[in-house]
């Protein structure tokens, strides 16, 4: 286990507009506001055509071959995530959502491209004095949080 103590910085409340891509909007906002690290909670609706990364095809395979799930209808959603820069200083959002419609729910990572549907609200809490960054793990094939 790795860990790093952090302090709470600014708090932002955001409302995404219909059709905006979740990770693109949050990462752009972080760049504009000079937010290096943060933790987020989000709720509202996601639109049809959104894609979630829902796990590896084979948990033992390297590099990991992610599966994607296409949402064919709008869904209610709730999620949480963290924001840390990569090795070049670009903010990278790692967030998982639970997306439900009637009696069916799918959970996954937003990196496939999740689109806001009408109401999608986020609370972003800035973390300061936290030097973590996302570093490419060549064996796994994606960027892992390192301290």
Q: What is the pLDDT of residues 59-90, one digit of tens each?
A: 999 999 999 999 999 999 999 999 999 999 99
Evaluate whether residue 2 is within a structural domain: no
What was the pLDDT predicted at 115?
A: 98
Evaluate whether residue 44 is within a structural domain: yes
Evaluate whether residue 121 is within a structural domain: yes
What was the pLDDT predicted at 30?
A: 98
How many folded domains does the chain comprise? 1
Evaluate whether residue 1 is within a structural domain: no
CATH assignment at residue 114: 3.30.1330.80
Q: Count Cα neighbours of 145 within 13 Å in the Cβ-side half-sphere.
A: 18
Q: What is the pTM of this model?
A: 0.95
**What residues in the chain have per-residue pLDDT under 70?**
none
d(CA 86, CA 44): 28
What was the pLDDT predicted at 49?
A: 98
What was the pLDDT predicted at 98?
A: 98
Evaluate whether residue 31 is within a structural domain: yes
Q: Provide the domain limits for residue 16.
A: 9-146
Evaluate whether residue 3 is within a structural domain: no
Q: For residue 114, give the DSSP letter.
A: -
């Amino acid at each position: 286990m790795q860990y790093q103590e952090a302090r709470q910085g600014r708090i932002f409340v955001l409302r995404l507009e219909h059709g905006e891509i979740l990770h693109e909007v949050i990462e752009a906002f972080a760049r504009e506001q000079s937010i290096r690290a943060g933790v987020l909670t989000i709720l509202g609706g996601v639109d049809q055509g959104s894609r979630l990364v829902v796990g590896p095809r084979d948990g033992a395979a390297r590099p990991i071959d992610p599966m994607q799930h296409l949402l064919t209808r709008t869904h209610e959603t709730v999620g949480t995530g963290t924001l840390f820069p990569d090795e070049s200083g670009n903010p990278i959002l790692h967030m998982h959502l639970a997306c439900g419609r009637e009696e069916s729910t799918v959970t996954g990572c937003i990196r496939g491209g999740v689109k806001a549907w009408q109401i999608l609200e986020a609370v972003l809490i800035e973390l300061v004095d936290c030097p973590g960054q996302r570093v490419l793990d060549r064996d796994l094939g994606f960027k892992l949080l390192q301290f």
